[in-house]
Structure 1
Amino acid sequence: MATKKELLNRPIQHLDLAQHNVVPLVEAMQHMAYSARDTARAANIYDMMLRDTDCGVILCLAGSLISAGLQKLIVTLVRSNMVDAIVSTGANIVDQDFFEALSFNHYIAGDEYKYGAGDAELRELMIDRIYDTFIDEEELRICDETLHQITNSLQPRPYSSREFIREMGAWLVKNGKTPQAGSKTGGRDSIVLAAYEKNVPIFCPAFSDCSAGFGFVAHQHERQGKPMVSIDSAKDFYELTQLKLANPTTGLLMIGGGVPKNFAQDIVVAADVLGVDASMHKYAIQITVADARDGALSGSTLKEASSWGKVDLTYEQMVYSEATLALPIIAGYAYHKQSASSRKGKQWSQILDKVQETVEV
Structure 2
Amino acid sequence: MNTKGAITNFIEEYFLHFNAASLVDAAKAYEQQLNNGSKMLVSLAGAMSTAELGKIFAEMIRQDKVHIISCTGANLEEDIMNLVAHSHYKRIPDYRDLTPEDEWDLLEKGLNRVTDTCIPEEEAFRRLQVHIYALWKEANDKGERYLPHEFMYKLLLSGVLESYYEIDLKDSWMYAAAEKNLPIVCPGWEDSTMGNIFASYVLKGELKSSTVKSGIEYMTFLADWYTKNSKKGIGFFQIGGGIAGDFPICVVPMLYQDMERKDTPFWSYFCQISDSTTSYGSYSGAVPNEKITWGKLDIDTPKFIIESDATIVAPLIFAYLLDM
TM bucket, shorter chain: 0.7 to 0.9
- SS in structure 1 opposite 2:236? strand
Matched, 1:296 2:277: no
Q: TM-score, normalised by structure 1?
A: 0.78
Q: 1:227 to 1:206 in 2, by over 3 A?
A: closer
CA contact (8 A) 1:91 1:210 kept: yes
Q: 1:306 to 1:29 in 2, by over 3 A?
A: farther
Matched, 1:132 2:116: yes
Q: Residue type matched to 1:335 in 2?
A: L
CA contact (8 A) 2:186 2:244 kept: yes
| Aligned residue number for residue 175 of structure 2 | 193
Cα distance in 1 for residues equivalent to 2:103 and 2:316: 33
CA contact (8 A) 2:148 2:212 kept: no
Distance apart, 1:184 and its partner CA: 6.7
CA contact (8 A) 1:147 1:215 kept: no
| Aligned residue number for residue 327 of structure 1 | 314
Matched, 1:285 2:271: yes
Cα distance in 2 for residues equivalent to 1:112 and 1:290: 23
Distance apart, 1:185 and its partner CA: 5.5
Cα distance in 1 for residues equivalent to 2:8 and 2:117: 30
Distance apart, 1:103 and its partner CA: 4.3
Matched, 1:142 2:95: no
| Alignment equivalent of 1:251, drawn from 215, 228, 235 | 235
1:158-200 Cα deviation digits (max 9, x unpaired):
856xx3312322222222546xxxx775573422222121121
Cα distance in 1 for residues equivalent to 2:96 and 2:176: 32
| Aligned residue number for residue 356 of structure 1 | none
Distance apart, 1:284 and its partner CA: 0.9
Question: Where in structure 2 are there 5+ consecutive unaligned residues?
Answer: none
Q: 1:106 to 1:335 in 2, by over 3 A?
A: farther
| Aligned residue number for residue 197 of structure 2 | 215
Cα distance in 2 for residues equivalent to 1:115 and 1:304: 38
CA contact (8 A) 2:57 2:173 kept: yes
Number of equivalenced pairs: 309
Deviates further, 121-130 or 233-242:
121-130
Cα distance in 2 for residues equivalent to 1:217 and 1:226: 9
Cα distance in 2 for residues equivalent to 1:176 and 1:225: 22
| Alignment equivalent of 2:244, drawn from 260, 278, 281 | 260
Matched, 1:34 2:21: no
Deviates further, 202-211 or 291-300:
291-300
Matched, 1:78 2:61: yes
Deviates further, 326-335 or 268-277:
268-277
1:45-99 Cα deviation digits (max 9, x unpaired):
111122121x1110100001111121121111111101111000110111x1121
| Aligned residue number for residue 261 of structure 2 | 276
Cα distance in 2 for residues equivalent to 1:172 and 1:246: 28
Cα distance in 2 for residues equivalent to 1:325 and 1:223: 45
1:193-251 Cα deviation digits (max 9, x unpaired):
22121121111110111122133123313436968523311111111111111122100
Distance apart, 1:301 and its partner CA: 1.5
Distance apart, 1:263 and its partner CA: 1.5
RMSD: 2.4
- SS in structure 2 opposite 1:154? helix
Cα distance in 1 for residues equivalent to 2:160 and 2:122: 22
CA contact (8 A) 2:85 2:164 kept: no
| Aligned residue number for residue 8 of structure 2 | 23
Distance apart, 1:119 and its partner CA: 1.0
1:118-175 Cα deviation digits (max 9, x unpaired):
2122122111111111111222222234332321121466856xx3312322222222
Cα distance in 2 for residues equivalent to 1:331 and 1:225: 40
Deviates further, 138-147 or 274-283:
138-147
CA contact (8 A) 1:103 1:188 kept: no
Identity %: 25
Question: Where in structure 1 are there 5+ consecutive unaligned residues?
Answer: 1-19, 338-361
Q: TM-score, normalised by structure 2?
A: 0.87
Distance apart, 1:23 and its partner CA: 1.1
